[in-house]
Amino acid sequence: MSNVDRAIQHLNRKISEREQSQTISFDEFLKVLTVSPTAVVRNVFQTFHDMIRSYVGVGVDEYPDDPESINYVHYDCSNLFVKDADRPFFADRLFANRLINHVDAMKGSARQNKIYIFEGPHGSGKSTFLNTLLLKFEEYANSDAGTRYETVWRLDRRVLAQINETQMTSFVDRLTGLLDEYELGQADQAEMKKSLFRSGDFIEVPCPSHDNPLLMIPKRDRRTFFDELFKNDEFKWKLFTDKEYEWVFSETPCTICSSLFNALLQRLPNSMDIYRMIHARPYRFNRRLGEGITVFNPGDKPMKQNVITNEQLQRKIDILLGDSNAVRHIYSNFAKTNNGIYALMDVKSYNAERLLELHNIISEGIHKVEELEENVKSLFIALMNPEDEKTIEGFQSFTDRIEFINIPYVMDLHTEVEIYRNTFGRHINESFLPRVLHNFARIIIATRMNRKSEALLEWIGDPEKYAHYCDENLLLLKMEIYCGHIPPWLSEDDRKRLTAKRRRRIIDESEHEGVTGFSGRDSIKIFNEFYSAHARKDGLISMYSLVTYFTKWRTDLNEMLPVHFLDSLVQNYNYTVLQEVKESLYYYNEDQIARDLLNYLFAVNFEVGSSVLCAYTNEKIDISEDFLRSIEVRLIGQEVTEAVRLDFRRETQKEYASRTLTQEILAGGKDPRETTLYLALHERYVHNLKDKVLEPFIDNANFRRAIKDYDTEAFKTYDKRIRDDVSFLINNLCASRFHYSKQSAREMCVYVIDHDLARTFPT
């Protein structure tokens, strides 16, 4: 024997061992069933649900304690739609919630004879969605977690020979004759005979409909059977009461399985002999072969003959049973996707015909194959463009069977940005000032929204009150809510009025949006053009570039936007960056405040111009008018006169020298931070900090210049106090929650200064 032969034989043995070991007896199947009942007792709907849930996981609610929550949560769909996908699909928050809700309902309902039509405009990524979904279903269904069993009959010749001696004899005779013809050597012949006989012990008839072996138990016996098989646990309770398990008691096996069962029942005295012939093996899915998953394209011509037979197998069964009418081995293509997925890629041309053909199957749950009624319980999925809806008009009884699921353009700006990042690379982030990239997405999404929102108007009333943060159509507000975010600029009153009912109304409006405006393809094209024109090494893309692009360069695109939308977007940006600056200036920790106060208390006792080492903080202080003033501004505000300020300094010094230092600290042994004066100054400091945080931006020309000079040689010439403040601000902006770099933080602050936002923006 050559090496090649040996190697091939080895392979062959490996493969058949694997195949062999995967087919288990009915007894063994029942053992697997009792160990993991929830995995074994699953139809396609339950499996599909488990698949989605295993890839997507639990949703995240950003406001977990909100009593008005409608469970509109963030689902991470990347494992399902992006990872390992040929082409990724991006499910936005709205679509993800819609999909999960449908999948949960699909599992829980007993009435599963429906077709799920995903309807969305051109460029919404429907086919990418379906291809990825089916890819992941195939992967899951073939994995350990997704394995379900199907029936395979092993018709035992020896058992059947007892009732059919003659056929058996003729079979053995023929076999011997066959072996003689091969003129094999004695040893080979004995070996061959043995092995042939081994594999010839039974005829294998797999159920073409992939029936779960459980269905082989006669319907009337199932309740008693399961009652005895399972102990009284949660699963048993669910099995007997939950709608999702109704199929276990109501479904019948395919005509081939049931006629085999009946034929054997008539021939074998002991029904145990029948169950010994029932085996189980994993239901293997293969889209390319149409096993378990079939996808039709509109151009796929219908098959002339949709009746499948296997004459050789039919003859064998006939011989074995001694009757040519007992079992008819005949089925249709629908059997191949029974318990699996049957999908139509776009309902047009031949697929429109297929959809109509599904009419009977979906409403009756059966399909006629010649005179036989074939069971078809599949997950039917189709994709449809809105303009193809006319295909199913006039089929009233049919439309009741259709579950439409919208798959519109992306409406959630985080997802829209994720698409740009995925298409052009993560590095695009670095070319934008923070928020500007998201504002590009806001512009794109605005074109996809309905201009008027009844739900928002009912909630907010007059949009005018938010004119500083939001557009007159409240689209910017809606975008936030679609992202699961409640904007901070809402009044306390409106925040309270955002009840579960109102939230549901707002989210429901998304069902009618995302079919017009810029498509997914459009937005990629526009982004590409914009980005190539503006991305550069020495500067960041600002709001100015963004607005100019639409108002000067591409006025044609601007026409798609609601009037004043860009102005409102800029207003909203101004508000947001100003908040960031405020928070970053105010974001003083206690240590910083203590250092300021202790240094000040110590410094007021010395002449301006002197240099001292603070006994409390151990810091070297160059006592200048600027230094004292910068802290005084924090204590008593900007608008006081020079005289009042100096008066305050004198009073503080007097109080410190006469009481704080002598009585409290030296005599009383108090921590300086617990003295009366310190606590009073601390309270003033915090109060003013919140209130007057932007004052350095308004009236301190030095401060403003220092920001512009930040990170340059000139910056070193500023007073230490100003340098500290500016560095502090920039460092806080660079803290993770704001996503600024040193450069972008500086550019943003310069923007705030140049536009004089601190003065002009209402607080």
In Å, how far are 414, 422, 566 from 427, measured between CA atoms?
A: 16, 10, 26
Stretch of 44-52, 76-84, 163-171, 207-215 lying at the interface with Zn ion (CB under 5 A): 207-215
Of 44, 134, 257, 355, which one interacts with Zn ion (CB under 5 A)? Answer: 257
Q: Does 254 bind Zn ion (CB under 5 A)?
A: yes
CB of 216 to Zn ion, least distance (A): 8
Please choose, out of 42-50, 200-208, 626-634, 712-720, the segment that lies near Zn ion by the rule CB under 5 A.
Answer: 200-208
Q: Per CB under 5 A, does 207 bind Zn ion? A: yes
Cβ–Cβ under 8 Å, residues 410 and 90: yes
E strand segments, 211-331: 278-282, 293-296, 308-309, 330-331
Task: Give yes or no for residue 374 binding Zn ion (CB under 5 A).
Answer: no
Task: Choose between 326 and 467: whose C-beta lies nearer to Zn ion.
Answer: 326
C-alpha distances (whole Å) from 532 to each of 432, 436, 440, 535, 540 are 12, 15, 14, 6, 13
Minimum gap (Å) between residue 98 Cβ and Zn ion:
35
SS3 state of residue 405: strand
For position 211 contacting Zn ion by CB under 5 A, the verdict is yes
Taking the complex as a whole, the smallest distance from the CB of residue 165 to Zn ion amounts, in Å, to 29
Tell me: does residue 209 bind Zn ion (CB under 5 A).
yes
| Cβ–Cβ < 8 Å for 256, 310 | no
Q: For Zn ion, which stretch binds (CB under 5 A), given 60-68, 253-261, 273-281, 726-734?
A: 253-261
Q: Supply the minimum distance, in Å, between the C-beta of residue 190 and Zn ion.
A: 38
At closest approach, how far in Å is the CB of 210 from Zn ion?
A: 8
Does residue 335 belong to the site contacting Zn ion (CB under 5 A)?
Answer: no
Contacts made by residues 161-166, CB under 8 angstroms, sequence distance 24+: 163/267, 163/268, 163/322, 164/320, 164/321, 164/322
Instruction: Give me the amino acid identity at 685.
Output: Y
Q: Are strands 115-119 and 402-406 parallel, antiparallel or unpaired?
A: parallel
Q: How far is the CB of 374 from Zn ion (least distance, A)?
A: 10
Question: Does residue 253 belong to the site contacting Zn ion (CB under 5 A)?
Answer: yes
Supply the minimum distance, in Å, between the C-beta of residue 366 and Zn ion: 14
CA angle 749, 751, 756 (to 5 degrees): 95
Q: Output the smallest distance, CB 308 to Zn ion, in A.
A: 13
CA 727 to chain centre: 40
CA angle 188, 190, 192 (to 5 degrees): 65
Cα distance from N-terminal residue to C-terminal residue, the chain? 91
Distance between CA 96 and CA 79 in Å, rounded?
13
Closest Cα to residue 730, out of 754, 713, 757, 706? 706
557 binds Zn ion (CB under 5 A): no
Q: Which is nearer to Zn ion, 211 or 471 (CB)?
A: 211
Stretch that binds Zn ion, among 256-264, 400-408, 425-433, 721-729 (CB under 5 A): 256-264
**Smallest distance from Zn ion to CB 260, Å:** 8
Does 376 bind Zn ion (CB under 5 A)? Our answer is no
Q: Which of the stretches 125-133, 204-212, 488-496, 691-699 binds Zn ion when contact is defined by CB under 5 A? A: 204-212
Break the chain down into helix, strand, coil percent, rounded to 5. Answer: 60, 10, 30
Residues 151-190 as x/- pattern, contact with Zn ion by CB under 5 A: ----------------------------------------
Q: How far is the CB of 209 from Zn ion (least distance, A)?
A: 5
Residue 489, both tokens: 């600029």
338 contacts Zn ion (rule: CB under 5 A): no
337 binds Zn ion (CB under 5 A): no
Q: Which residues bind Zn ion (CB under 5 A)?
A: 207, 209, 211, 253-254, 257
